[in-house]
Amino acid sequence: MRRDTNHALVASILRGGVGVGGVLLAVGLVIGIAAGDTSAPTLRLVDLFAPGPLHARFELAGILVCGATPGVAVLALIGSLAPQRDWRAVATATAVLAILVVGMILGHV
């Protein structure tokens, strides 16, 4: 795989993730407005499959997709660079992934 192909792969993952996440958020917003529910409930991961407002589940799914997209893109980049034996780029992408994971952990502490 050439470098241009790697960039296209990452760009398509980022574009798709933001698109899907944005659509889920928009659907949740429309459902909430149509139902007359303008409350902002606390969104927890366990609420995704729990009974409750449908709009909140769509919004939570959109947030999760948007939040996971950068990590998935970096994993795809690592997976496409490793067969090329571009170890410097793999190490850099792995460091970026570690920073994302540490940020998520610290954000929940």
Following DSSP, what letter does each residue of 45-58 receive, concatenated?
GGGGSSSS-HHHHH
Structural domain count, the chain: 1
- Confidence (pLDDT) at 91: 94
Q: Which two tokens stand for residue 1?
A: 């795989």
Domain assignment of residue 29, given as a range? 3-107
The whole-number average pLDDT for the span 22-38 is: 91
The whole-chain average pLDDT of the chain stands at 86
The predicted-structure confidence for 50-83, as pLDDT tens digits, reads as follows 787 888 889 889 999 998 999 999 999 899 888 8
Entry pTM: 0.78
- Contact at 8 Å (CB) between 31 and 54? yes
Scanning the structure block, which residue is given the tokens 């950068």?
A: 70
- Confidence (pLDDT) at 3: 61
- Residue 92 scores a pLDDT above 70: yes
The whole-number average pLDDT for the span 93-105 is: 90
DSSP 41: P
